[in-house]
Structure 1
Amino acid sequence: MIPRGGALVALMDFLEQHLPNNKIGSLSINRITRMARLILDTNSFAYNNAYYKQSRGGAMGSALTQVLANIYMYKWEQHLIKHQGSHKQIYGRLVKNIYKQINFDITIKNENEQLKTSMYHKPATGTYILSYASDHPRYIHQNIPHATLLRATRIFFNVYDLNSERIRIDMSLLMNN
């Protein structure tokens, strides 16, 4: 959730930086900011036959809230991006449901100053890969072991973790015929 005040300040700064004549059509930056504040301050919703006024953040799924969140994060990230470039660090930000959703299948951890990677497995699927009895073309079934092992070799940093995943893959393949 973005703070309303911070989002409005970031919006004003962003518009001042990127609008050549401080206007969009006939709308001044001040008027745009006031309209954004009005929208944020008048957000309401219904729940269990009662109406509520939203007092913090913005409405989920609102086009304005998404734009304000991106502008706020853009301002917030600038110092961090400059810092990470000079210190050989990586910074990334996951943005969900704004343009498209990216599903990551890797977990990266720092355990006692050691990089630890693991592959995500859906809890609902367990050891299931693809039933050999399915009607998929034969080449799909033939590619499963290769594709699954290739994915694991790209994800795992530690050879022991890779071997554990290989054993898990072997067991899954055996259980699925």
Structure 2
Amino acid sequence: MGAPFTMTLANIYMYEWEQSLIQHQQIRNELYGWYIDDIFMTSNEPVENIKALLDRENAKDPNIRITYTIHDSVEFLDVLIENIQGQLKTLVFRKPAAEPYIVPIRIQLCSDVETFDQERLNIEIALLLNGYPLNFIKRHLKQCFKNHNVMSIYQDLHAKTYKKLHLQLLDESLTYHTGSNPPEEQQQKQYAQTNQQCQTTTSKKQPDIIIHYQYESGPVKTFNSEFRKIWKKHFCYPTSSLNNVRLILDTRINKTIEDLRVNKKPPRNLLRNLDCNST
């Protein structure tokens, strides 16, 4: 991926590009997911309208080209999503070309107890084929269900209990980074309080974010101004905690051959020979 900051720059670039798609999905109360170079969307519109939308987005930026698949079942990351009579069903997906490996039992990825039980059996068989004792496997599986107090799933495949656990773990994974999800007014108050606390507890020295990038002629010449526009538009809203952060964009010039020669340290044996000759 090049420089360590490349992925962050790509995320910022894509964040600007995808706003029209996000608004389109929000207006229609549809799903939208994006991770690196994969996008997942749901839609109840005719296929012709979906293709027209994606073709329009594809022509919006010459630096971004998308290829799409429209079907009632699609793979997104490690999840297979199926549309069964208007109901979305999810299960674990493994790419055929990927190396075989064992992953933890992902209850979040299996939308019903039957799918989850099949995934559990697949993992048990894989562990047995790799030489793990059957007692060892069953003991750890039971311990997993005991920890969540849902032994009825392990013993009887209780659908209601599984559904409750499935939703609980989904909520935990969604709120792990975002915290609780209060109403909008309360959320704005929390942002304002957090911002005020940050301003009162931080030191007098203004915090800095320093970004280094290689200076080149061409489109990169406008990187500084374009980046500051995106930063101000999306990260410096009234209640943002980044308002007191100073953004510094610093350029680095590619080294010349003369610079490399000057900074290169001579070999140790050459320095020793020089010392011997001088004495």
Q: What TM-score comes out, normalization by structure 2 length?
A: 0.25
Q: TM-score, normalised by structure 1?
A: 0.37
The structure with more radius of gyration: 2
- Which protein has greater RCO, CA pairs closer than 8 Å, 6+ apart? 1
